[in-house]
Structure 1
């Protein structure tokens, strides 16, 4: 259901998040860049495990949300757990 290296939009309550799979690892993150609110569902993913904002090319670590390039707050990321019952995303 989640193709490799393709971001899928998921709505959880009133929250829009992106879900991404790289190999066997899943990531969940806020669908908007914390800098200017650009749509991260259109972002690129590099080989270093970073999501790259399409607006200003800011880079964020997919595991921690830490800014790797740019000047803004961290990207909200969410814990993801895959089980035999499905994919679970833990929202605060």
Structure 2
């Protein structure tokens, strides 16, 4: 998967989850900075659990921990990325 494809997949996955509660009227690139950061750090992950924690960590760093929920809600996206 190319870096652009990875970023696009991350953006789509985050937009579907909408952890910041931006809603359907949010700009298409609402989660672009987070997708880029996750994509940049993804090669450091050694298992799907680390991918899940990475996604959660980046989201907590960007938004309120209350809004983004627990790490468990990122499991499906993490599995998709890990199995790419």
Same fold, TM exceeding 0.5?
no
Over alpha carbons, which structure has the higher Rg?
A: 1
Higher helix residue share: 2
Q: Which has the higher strand share?
A: 1
* Greater RCO structure (CA 8 Å; 6+ sep): 2
